[in-house]
Amino acid sequence: MESLDDTLAALLAGGRPAGTVTRGLLIGLRAALTEVAPDDPAVAALDRLLAGSPPHRLLAGSPPAAAGPAPGAPLPTGTQTAAPASPASRGLETTLAPLWARAAAAADEREPGDPPDVPASMWEELHLLSLRLAPEDRREVQAHAADDVRGAGAIPGTTAQVTVLGPGHEVLIPQLLTGGHALHRGLATAPDAPLPIELMPYTSKLGGPGADPATVAFVRLAVPVLHLVSLDRHLQHCLQTLQFRGFAPLNAPAEQDRFRGQLLARITALIDAAPGTSHWLECMVRLHEAVSSVVHLPPATDVSWWGRLRMHAHTILRDAAAQLGPGLVKLPPNRFAAARALTAHDIPLKLPDSSGMVLACVRVWSKIDDTENPGRVIYGS
């Protein structure tokens, strides 16, 4: 007869619905045990089970689709549904294709690939592309997309059914309805949304009266990135721990897993660190590096959603460092010639119109406990 451990391990290794539900229950159980009996041997036993299970794969924190994709079809994202095809949904991808091409060009995407051939994927990718644009251009893409799907008989939403933790209340991908079903559930952020399943054990630590505001703010900033690396096929990363030179595409599942593992580890390290200490600042510098290392090619403009996220990360880190003293972290200047005094192992990107300019800071210069670490930038060449 199989032991309970064997049964649970088999469930964790199983298909998406069974594995995800089992993992969620175990994480919740572990969180409760940690609160009331942190030394209980069951905590270590649960850690062993969870460490051996596949990573959480339900993107954007939504329930699994009721049915799998057809053979050869792309896997649905966590915000898409298994709604049955309706006359209104058929051909939506064709209707939206010209707008998708214009959005990809406006975002300067170097390798856009083929447009998605599934309506929900096309709707999702259009709005993901718009996150790279200036606000007025993003609004224009959203308005045209809404008009196009209305013309095809679908109903564009202004809200989302899936909400994840984030720095503010914002709809990133509106829901899309057709034939009485949600073809796409949409994706929004909110500062009071629950933590993702992997971070549930830290709910009380981040939500309690003694929670550090800077730590909470940075976690809110990092969690949307945790979701978007699994949704946006055009994202790359240059986290030096994983990719010493250049960029690695995040559309490969193995690379996603490696990066998400690093990002989660750095989030939890910051939460566990005592606020106001050198170790806390070091953890924040490392989390800042992971968040900043997620980029498109070329990096999105500073006024875009992605650019505002970068700027927000810089501000939180700079203000946190100022609590410990002046000059502990430095952001590089905009011109690469001046930035080189603060950086090492920088990444060139061939962009003649931006030659000699810093396109994104992916690691700040820091000096913590007399240990100096160089920054790192992407620059136009």
Q: What is the per-residue pLDDT across 133-178, written as a single tens digit (0 to 9) for each? A: 999 999 999 999 999 999 988 999 999 999 999 999 999 999 999 8
Q: 3-state SS string over the chain?
A: CCCHHHHHHHHHCCCHHHHHHHHHHHHHHHHHHHHHCCCCHHHHHHHHHHHCCCCCCCHHHCCCCCCCCCCCCCCCCCCECCCCCCCCCCCHHHHHHHHHHHHHHHCCCCCCCCCCCCHHHHHHHHHHHHCCCCHHHHHHHHHHHHHHHHHCCCEECCCCCCEEECCCCEEEECCEEECCEEEECCEEEECCCCCCHHHHHHHHHHHCCCCCHHHHHHHHHHHHHHHHCCCCCCCEECCCCCCCCCCEECCCHHHHHHHHHHHHHHHHHHHHCCCCCHHHHHHHHHHHHHHHCEECCCCCCCCCHHHHHHHHHHHHHHHHHHHHCCCCEECCCCEHHHHHHHECCCEEECCHHHECEEEEEEECEEEECCEEECEEEEEEC
CA–CA gap between residue 174 and residue 159 (Å, rounded): 5
**Domain that includes residue 224, residue range:** 197-380
Rounded to a whole number of angstroms, the distance between the first and last alpha carbons of the chain is 64
One domain for residues 144 and 209: no
Order of strands across the sheet that contains 365-368:
329-330, 365-368, 371-373
Residues 102, 48 share a domain: no
190, 222, 253: which is the final residue of a domain?
A: 190
β-pair partners for 380 = 349, 355
Instruction: Find the mean pLDDT for residues 207-216.
Output: 93
* Co-location of 156 and 202 in the same domain: no
Q: Is residue 243 assigned to a domain?
A: yes
Alpha carbons 366 and 55: distance in angstroms, whole number: 32
64 within a domain of the structure (yes/no): no
Phi and psi at 173, nearest 5°, equal -130, 115
Same domain? 135 vs 267: no
Q: Are residues 214 and 291 in the same domain?
A: yes
Q: Is residue 27 part of a domain?
A: yes
Assigned token pair, 376: 């790192």
Q: Are residues 119 and 248 in the same domain?
A: no
Q: Which of 147, 163, 190 is the last residue of a domain?
A: 190
341 and 373, same domain (yes or no): yes
- How many structural domains are present in the chain? 3
What's the burial of 243, exposed, middle or buried (CB within 10 Å: 0-12/13-18/19+)? middle
8 Å CB contact between 247 and 347: yes
Which tens digit of pLDDT belongs to each residue from 190-206? 999 999 999 999 999 99
**Interval 239-254 mean pLDDT:** 93
- Establish if 236 belongs to a structural domain: yes
Return mean pLDDT, the chain.
84
pLDDT at 53: 41
pLDDT for 75 equals: 30
For residues 120 and 224, membership in a common domain is answered with: no
- Residue 183 in any domain: the answer is yes
Instruction: Give the per-residue pLDDT at 68.
Output: 31
Q: Are residues 217 and 254 in the same domain?
A: yes
Are 285 and 327 contained in the same domain?
yes
Q: Which one has a higher pLDDT value, 308 or 42? A: 308
Quick one: pLDDT band at residue 303, thresholds 50, 70, 90?
A: very high
Q: Is residue 20 part of a domain?
A: yes
pLDDT at 77 over 80: no
Is 10 a member of any domain? yes
- 176 and 206 inside one domain: no
With tokens 């064997």, the residue in question is: 6
**Where does a domain end: 150, 174, 190?**
190
- The Cα–Cα gap between 117 and 358 comes to 36
Same domain, 225 and 139: no
Where does residue 145 rank: exposed (0-12), middle (13-18), buried (19+ CB within 10 A)? Answer: buried
Note whether residue 77 is domain-resident: no
Region class of 55: left (phi > 0), else alpha (psi between -120 and 50), else beta: beta
Q: Which two tokens stand for residue 77?
A: 């994202």
